[in-house]
Amino acid sequence: MKYQAQSVHLKHPHECLIIGLFEDGQTAAFNKCDQLTEGYLTGLVKSGDISGKIGQLCLLHHVPQLDCKRLIIVGCGKQQELNERNYQKIYQRLWQTLKELPVSEAVSYLTDLQIKGRNLYWNVRFAIETLEHGNYQFDNFKQQKAPAIKLQKLLFSTDDTTAEQAIRHAQAIAHGIRATRDLANQPPNICNPAYLAEQAQALAAKSNKVSVEILDEAQMTELGMQAYLAVSRGATNPAYLSLIKFNNAPNPDAKPIVLVGKGLTFDAGGISLKPAADMDEMKYDMGGAASVFGTMTALIELDLPLNVIGVLAGCENLPDGNAYRPGDILTTMNGLTVEVLNTDAEGRLVLCDTLTYVERFAPQAVIDIATLTGACVVALGQHNSGLLSENDALATELAQAAAQSHDKAWRLPISDEYREQLKSPFADLANVGGRWGGASTAGAFLSHFTKAYPWAHLDIAGTAWLQGANKGATGRPVPLLVQYLINAAE
C-alpha cells in the first residue's frame, strides 16, 4: 500500500473520508464536517446511532453537503485514554472495514488525534505499522488465497513535514516485520539452517553495501565451536552460521553493531525431548534469527549510516543415535567447559560460540535476540520481551527504543547469584541453573561469553509468536531493534 502526507481539503470529492469521534468530545475533523453538514453528524450522536466508543465504526454514503462518496466515523474512546494501544485498536478496526470496501484511495483525518505523549510523527507511524500488521496473511501453502484488497493508497491529511519521515520509517519497519513473519512462519521442513543462509544471500544480492559470509560445520569445527556443533549433531540437516554485513558508516572502519539471532529452525529438545503438545511451535525457535533478518531488511531500506552485522545462528535440535547427551561435557570456543544437564537448553550453547566468534569484529555493541526460555514467558507473559544486560547504558538505550517503538521490553536481572546457580561439579559451567529464575540463569550463562564488548540479551520466547486463533509470527522485536538503530544513527 502507498502512503502520502498532504493537507487535504474536506470538501474535496474523496472516495472515502475517515474522521474520528471521541466518546467525550469531538475531533477537529468531526467538528468541521458537522458544520459543513449543518449538524447532520451531531444529529447522529443525539439519536444514539454513534457514540464514539472505541472501535465503533459507522460508514455513511453521500452525506449531504460533503462531496465525498463515503464517510467513515470511527470511535476513538475517551480523549484522556488515547494511548498507543487504544490508537492501534482504532486502526485495527478501521482496517477490517477498509479492506472490504471497493475503494482504491482513502483520506485519514485521524491525524488530529493526540496520542498521549506523542506527536504527529508517531500518529502517522503507528497508523501505518498497525495497518500493515493487519494486512498480513501467510497463505503460501493454502490453495485458497486471501482476496485481493482494493485499497491502494492512504492519504494522511497534515501539513506537518515530520509525516514524510514517519512514512519512510514505518514502511521500512513494516517491510522488516513482514520479512520476519514470512521467514518465521515457514514450516521447518522448508526453513532449515541452509534456508536461512540462502535468505541471507538473497538479501545481500539486493544491495552493494551488503556482503554475506556463511560458516559451515567444517569451518565451525576448525574454529572449535564444539558447543554449537554438539547441538547440531542429532540433526541430518547441517548447521550454518550466516553473517549479513551492512557497511554504510561514514568511516568504513567504524566499529559495528552486531545483532545475533538464535536460529533453531526446529527445537524438539534433543534427548531431553519436549512433550508432544504444541511442539510444532518450536519451528519458531528461529524467531531471533528471523528478527535479525527483518531488521537488516529495514536497515538496508533506510540506508542508515551505520556498520551493522546481522548473524543468523542456524541449527536444529533433534534426538538421534548421534545426538549429544545429558552428561556430555563440551569445550566451547572460548575454552570454558560446559556440562550438559538438559539438551533442551540448547539455545545458549549455540549462542555462546556465536558470541565468542563475533569478538573478531571488535563490536561497539552486541545484542543477541533469542526465544531462549519458557521461564521468560512465565515472568513477563506475551507482552514484554525480556531485556537482560549488565551494561546499564546499553540496557537504557534498548529500553528507550522499546518504549518509543511501543515494542515493549522489561528488564530482568543478571548477577553473580544467578551465575552461582550454574556451578557444575565436573565442568566450568552447567548449561542449566535449576528450577528458579530461568530467564536470568540463561542470561548469566551467556554473560560468560560476552566480556569483550558491551552486550545485551533480548529473550523473545513470549513475544515472537502468538498461539490460538491468531497463531503466527509477530515480527517482534523488529520495531525495537530498528528504533535502536535509528537512534544510534542520530
- Binding-site residues, in ranges, read 262, 267, 285, 344, 346
Select from Mn ion, ligand BES, Zn ion, none the partner in contact with residue 330, using the beta carbon and a kind-dependent cut-off of 5 to 8 Å.
Answer: none
User: Which string of DSSP letters, residue by residue, matches 190-207?
Assistant: T-SHHHHHHHHHHHHTT-
Which DSSP symbol is given to 299?
A: H
Number of residues that bind Zn ion (CB under 5 A): 4
Tell which positions 257-316 bind Mn ion, by CB under 5 A: 267
Q: Is 233 a catalytic residue?
A: no
Residue count of the chain: 490
Task: Find residue 375's DSSP bridge partners.
Answer: none
Q: Is 380 in the site for ligand BES (CB under 6 A)?
A: no
What span, in angstroms and rounded, lies between the C-alpha atoms of 413 and 319? 32
Select from Mn ion, Zn ion, ligand BES, none the partner in contact with residue 112, using the beta carbon and a kind-dependent cut-off of 5 to 8 Å.
Answer: none
User: According to CB under 6 A, which one of 25, 39, 374, 381 is a site residue for ligand BES?
Assistant: 374
Classify burial at 213, counting beta carbons within 10 Å of its beta carbon; exposed 0-12, middle 13-18, buried 19 or more.
middle
Q: Is 344 in the site for Mn ion (CB under 5 A)?
A: yes
User: Which string of DSSP letters, residue by residue, matches 220-272?
Assistant: HHHHT-HHHHHHHTT-SSPPEEEEEEEE--SSTTSPPEEEEEEEEEEE--TTS
Q: Is 411 a catalytic residue?
A: no
Tell which positions 194-213 bind ligand BES, by CB under 6 A: none
Rounded (5°) CA angle 136-141-144: 75
- Which CB atom, from 371 or from 474, has the smaller least distance to ligand BES? 371
User: According to CB under 6 A, which one of 263, 347, 386, 475 is a site residue for ligand BES?
Assistant: 347
Q: Is 327 in the site for ligand BES (CB under 6 A)?
A: no
Q: Is 342 in the site for ligand BES (CB under 6 A)?
A: yes
Pairing verdict, β 472-473 and 465-466: antiparallel
Q: Is 346 in the site for ligand BES (CB under 6 A)?
A: yes
Question: Which has the closest alpha carbon to 311: 403, 243, 264?
Answer: 243
Min separation Cβ 273 and Zn ion, Å: 13
Tell which positions 243-302 bind ligand BES, by CB under 6 A: 267, 285
Neighbours of 378 (CB within 10 A): 12
* Active-site residue, selected from the candidate residues 348, 408, 419, 476: 348
- Catalytic positions, written as ranges: 274, 348
| Residues of the shown chain interacting with Zn ion in the complex, contacts defined by CB under 5 A | 264, 267, 285, 347
| Residues of the shown chain interacting with ligand BES in the complex, contacts defined by CB under 6 A | 267, 285, 342, 344-347, 371-375, 377, 432, 438, 461
